Amino acid sequence: MIIVMQTTATQEQVKKVEEKLVALGFKTHPIYGEVKTVIGAIGDKRLLDTQMITSMPGVENIVPIMKPYKLVSRELKQSKTIIQIDDIAIGGQEIVIMAGPCAVENEEVFFETARKVKAAGAKILRGGAFKPRTSPYSFQGLEEEGLKMLDIARKETGLKIVTEVVDTRDVEVVSRYSDILQIGARNMQNFRLLKEVGASGKPVLLKRGLSATIEEWLMAAEYIMSSGNPNIILCERGIRTFETATRNTIDISAIPVVKELSHLPIIADPSHATGTWKYVDALSKAAVAAGADGLIIEVHNDPSRALCDGPQSLRPEKFAQLMEELKPVALAVHRTI
């Protein structure tokens, strides 16, 4: 790291910072500029809280040179990680499609939707049993009853299941009924939950927080991986900006950026990002063209009766058509669907 000293820093202050750095195990290289002094500090001390140095008299700021994450970085592991769930490989040559309703609400509607997304080519079924809702008065999910429906749908269709877990106390039960644990955007920095899903060993779908930088998102993945679980799928789902024409702004650039920085697979969620089914088509194609390893799309048999996120759900026939249209886009970037 580089310590930038203030213009007014005294030689004594520079010396004290150097001494502190040496005491912490760094080798120091001061550079005396015309106006400011900077100190190069050598030593790969990711654990060091740089704040101790920042607060020392005469220090202007600290410029980290190394990334704060390690296990999830491409620097550590250059080959792409592939998450294998039986015969499904996420991060490989095939683009994996996850689809289903926002929430599991009604057995009949849910199974019908499940069968249709399977027929259209989806490999993984999504559906929420525990729903984090902005309002305490909104439908909060069927909880364990919903998990059981997911399990039945899994057995009946052969689809794998991804579903959200919102509380450390539920990790065990959700793990029992599902194949992938989803960490929602609002819980991306619920560090205790990250540690629990890390300890569970189950594949984790880690959604990006609404206002999380890519670095913070990778640090959240680092929490899971440093708890012993390397099976992480990152999911871009839109960030919060000033634009209100769409619910959030999908950050398509995050796809190539994450692929450069990390070995983990990354998928996109065009349904939550836009909040409107009309734009799901264009953004699904964009995400695939940009290199996404998968998509998670909301599909509902009857959006106008959905208890949750109806406006962003595709009808099954529209979803089937999108699946057809995505195939040539995938081929154009040397992938398959």
Site for its own copies in 56-95 (CB under 8 A): 56, 63, 65-66, 68, 75
Residue 236 interacts with its own copies (CB under 8 A): yes or no: no
Of the candidates 227, 318, 320, 321, which one interacts with its own copies according to CB under 8 A? 227
- Give me the DSSP letters along 161-177: EEEE--SGGGHHHHHHH
CB of 273 to its own copies, least distance (A): 7
Interface size with its own copies, residues (CB under 8 A): 109
Residue 336 interacts with its own copies (CB under 8 A): yes or no: no
Q: Which is nearer to its own copies, 161 or 330 (CB)?
A: 330
Rounded Cα distance between 324 and 330, Å, is 10
Residue 34 interacts with its own copies (CB under 8 A): yes or no: yes
Instruction: Determine if residue 91 is left, alpha or beta; phi over 0 gives left, psi from -120 to 50 gives alpha, anything else beta.
Output: left
Of the candidates 187, 200, 229, 271, which one interacts with its own copies according to CB under 8 A? 187
Q: Which is nearer to its own copies, 53 or 124 (CB)?
A: 53
Rounded Cα distance between 101 and 298, Å, is 5
Residue 1: partners with Cβ closer than 8 Å, 6 or more residues away: 40, 41, 50, 62, 63, 64, 65, 66
Of the candidates 83, 98, 252, 264, which one interacts with its own copies according to CB under 8 A? 252
CB of 158 to its own copies, least distance (A): 29
CB of 95 to its own copies, least distance (A): 13
Residue 176 interacts with its own copies (CB under 8 A): yes or no: no
Q: Per the structure block, which two tokens stand in for 208?
A: 């990006």
Short-list 303, 319, 272, CA closest to 97: 319
Query: Are 197 and 171 in contact, with CB atoms under 8 Å apart?
Result: yes
Site for its own copies in 118-137 (CB under 8 A): 132-137
Residue 283 interacts with its own copies (CB under 8 A): yes or no: yes
CB of 116 to its own copies, least distance (A): 17
Scored b (16 or more CB within 10 A) or e, 76-91 reads: eeeeebebebeebbbb
Of the candidates 80, 148, 186, 318, which one interacts with its own copies according to CB under 8 A? 186
Region binding its own copies by CB under 8 A among candidate stretches 114-122, 155-163, 167-175, 229-237: 167-175
Short-list 99, 174, 106, 117, CA closest to 144: 174
Element (H, E) at 254: helix 254-261
Residue 251 interacts with its own copies (CB under 8 A): yes or no: yes
Residue 52 interacts with its own copies (CB under 8 A): yes or no: yes
**Beta bridge mates, 234:** 206, 266
Residue 113 interacts with its own copies (CB under 8 A): yes or no: no
Query: Are 160 and 154 in contact, with CB atoms under 8 Å apart?
Result: yes
Rounded Cα distance between 149 and 24, Å, is 55
Site for its own copies in 289-318 (CB under 8 A): 289-291, 303-311, 313
Of the candidates 257, 318, 320, 321, which one interacts with its own copies according to CB under 8 A? 257
Of the candidates 90, 197, 267, 288, which one interacts with its own copies according to CB under 8 A? 288
Pairing mode, strands 180-183 and 96-100: unpaired
Residue 25 interacts with its own copies (CB under 8 A): yes or no: no
